[in-house]
C-alpha cells in the first residue's frame, strides 16, 4: 500500500463504517486514478477539494434523509430541528439587543456602532428565509451575521492577551468575566455550523407555516416591552419611592438570554418526560434536539459564574448562573440518555447507499 493510498483511507474514516465497507475500495481507486503522482518519494497528499468532498459526504450520510438508515435519519432530524429553533431564538434575542441599542440613548451622544445593529436583522432574515424554504439564502444571511461576532471575538481576545501579558500584576483581570464575551459567541458559531451542516443539499426545507417566519419579530417586540417595564422598575423603584426589591433583580436575571433559554429548555424537557411516560415508542429526535439546545445554551449560563463576586447583586447573579448551568447540564444529560435509548436499531440488511 502506497503512502498516498494510506492517506486516502485515513480520510475516508470520516464516513460511516457501513458506507466504507461498501465503497471504500472503489473510492480509493478513483482517487488514485486522478492523482498526479503516487510515488512515496514525492510525498503525495490528497487534494483539498477531495478532502472537502469526503467531509461533505460524511455530513450528508451522518445527518441523512434516507429513512432506510434510521439512526442517521433521526440524528439529521434532531440537528435540523435544533438549528431551526436555535436560529429563531437567536434572532429574537439579537433583535432585542438591536432594539435596546436604538432605544437607549448613549450618555456620550455617540451613534451606535453599525455592527451592533446587524446581527439581529440578519439572523431574523435567515430564520424567515429558512421557514420559506430558501435554504441557500438563509445560510448566506446567517454567515454574514457572524461577521460582527468575529470582529468582537478578535477585539476581546487581543485585549485579554494584552492584559495577561502585561508586566507586573494583573489589575482588573477576572478570567471568568473576561472570557464571557468570547464564550457567549460560541453559541452563535455553533448555531450557524449546525445550520450549514444539517441543511445540506439532500435535506428538505422545514415544514413550517409561513407565519412562523415572523415569530422572532413578535418575540423581540414582547421582550423589548418587558425590558422597558423592568428598566423603569429598576431605575425608578416602587411607586412610593421605596427601594427596588430583590425580586426585581432576580427577575432581571431570568429574563435575559441565558435565563430565557434555561427556562424554555427546562420546560420543554419536563413536558417531554411527561409525554414519554404515556408513549410506548417515543421519537428519539425530540430529546436529542433538546439535548443539543441544552449544550448550546450551557456556555451562556456558565460564563456568568463569578466566584469572586462580593456585592449582593453579583452574588445573586452567580447563584442564578450556577442554578441555570446545573439545570441545563441536567437537561442535556437526561435528554441525551433518553434520545440514545430511543434511537431505532439499524436494519440488518440495509440497501446500498447512493454513490458519492
Q: What are phi and psi of 200, to 5 degrees?
A: -80, -175
pLDDT the model gives residue 349: 46
Q: What is the residue extent of each domain of the chain?
A: 68-214, 245-344
- For the entire predicted model, the pTM comes to 0.83
Q: Are 148 and 115 in contact (CB under 8 A)?
A: yes
Q: What confidence tens digit (pLDDT) does each residue in 221-251 have?
A: 999 998 888 777 766 655 555 555 566 667 7
Residue 287's nearest CA partner among 307, 270, 312 is 270
In Å, the largest CA–CA distance within the chain is 86
**Residue 202: how many other CB atoms lie within 10 Å:** 14
pLDDT the model gives residue 286: 92
| pLDDT less than 50: residues of the chain | 349-352, 356
- As a whole number of angstroms, the distance between CA 354 and CA 356 comes to 7
Amino acid at each position: 500500500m502506497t503512502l498516498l493510498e494510506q492517506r486516502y483511507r485515513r480520510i475516508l474514516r470520516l464516513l460511516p463504517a457501513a458506507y466504507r465497507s461498501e465503497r471504500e475500495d472503489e473510492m480509493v481507486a478513483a482517487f488514485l486514478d486522478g492523482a498526479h503522482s503516487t510515488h512515496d518519494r514525492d510525498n503525495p497528499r490528497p487534494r483539498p477539494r477531495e478532502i472537502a468532498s469526503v467531509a461533505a459526504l460524511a455530513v450528508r450520510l451522518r445527518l441523512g434523509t434516507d429513512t432506510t438508515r434510521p439512526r442517521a435519519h433521526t440524528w439529521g432530524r434532531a440537528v435540523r430541528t435544533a438549528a431551526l429553533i436555535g436560529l429563531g431564538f437567536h434572532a429574537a434575542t439579537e433583535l432585542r439587543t438591536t432594539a435596546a441599542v436604538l432605544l437607549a440613548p448613549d450618555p456620550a451622544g455617540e451613534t451606535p456602532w453599525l455592527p451592533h445593529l446587524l446581527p439581529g436583522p440578519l439572523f431574523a432574515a435567515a430564520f424567515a428565509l429558512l421557514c420559506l424554504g430558501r435554504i441557500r439564502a438563509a445560510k448566506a444571511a446567517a454567515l454574514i451575521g457572524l461577521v460582527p461576532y468575529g470582529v468582537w471575538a478578535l477585539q476581546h481576545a487581543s485585549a485579554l492577551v494584552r492584559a495577561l501579558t502585561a508586566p507586573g500584576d494583573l489589575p482588573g483581570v477576572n478570567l471568568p468575566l473576561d472570557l464571557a464575551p468570547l464564550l457567549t459567541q460560541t453559541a452563535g458559531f455553533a448555531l450557524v455550523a449546525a445550520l450549514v451542516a444539517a441543511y445540506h443539499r439532500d435535506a428538505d426545507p422545514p415544514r413550517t407555516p409561513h407565519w412562523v417566519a415572523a415569530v422572532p419579530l413578535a418575540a423581540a417586540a414582547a421582550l423589548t416591552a418587558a425590558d422597558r417595564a423592568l428598566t423603569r422598575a429598576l431605575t425608578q423603584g416602587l411607586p412610593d419611592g421605596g427601594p427596588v426589591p430583590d425580586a426585581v433583580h432576580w427577575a432581571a436575571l431570568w429574563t435575559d438570554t441565558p435565563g430565557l433559554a434555561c427556562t424554555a429548555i427546562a420546560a420543554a424537557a419536563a413536558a417531554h418526560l411527561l409525554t414519554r411516560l404515556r408513549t410506548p415508542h417515543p421519537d428519539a429526535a425530540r430529546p436529542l434536539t433538546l439535548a443539543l439546545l441544552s449544550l448550546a445554551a450551557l456556555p451562556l449560563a456558565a460564563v456568568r459564574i463569578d466566584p469572586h463576586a462580593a456585592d449582593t447583586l453579583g452574588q445573586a447573579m452567580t447563584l442564578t448562573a450556577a442554578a441555570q448551568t446545573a439545570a441545563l447540564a441536567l437537561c442535556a444529560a437526561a435528554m441525551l440518555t433518553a434520545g440514545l435509548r430511543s434511537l431505532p436499531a439499524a436494519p440488518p440488511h440495509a440497501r446500498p447507499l447512493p454513490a458519492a
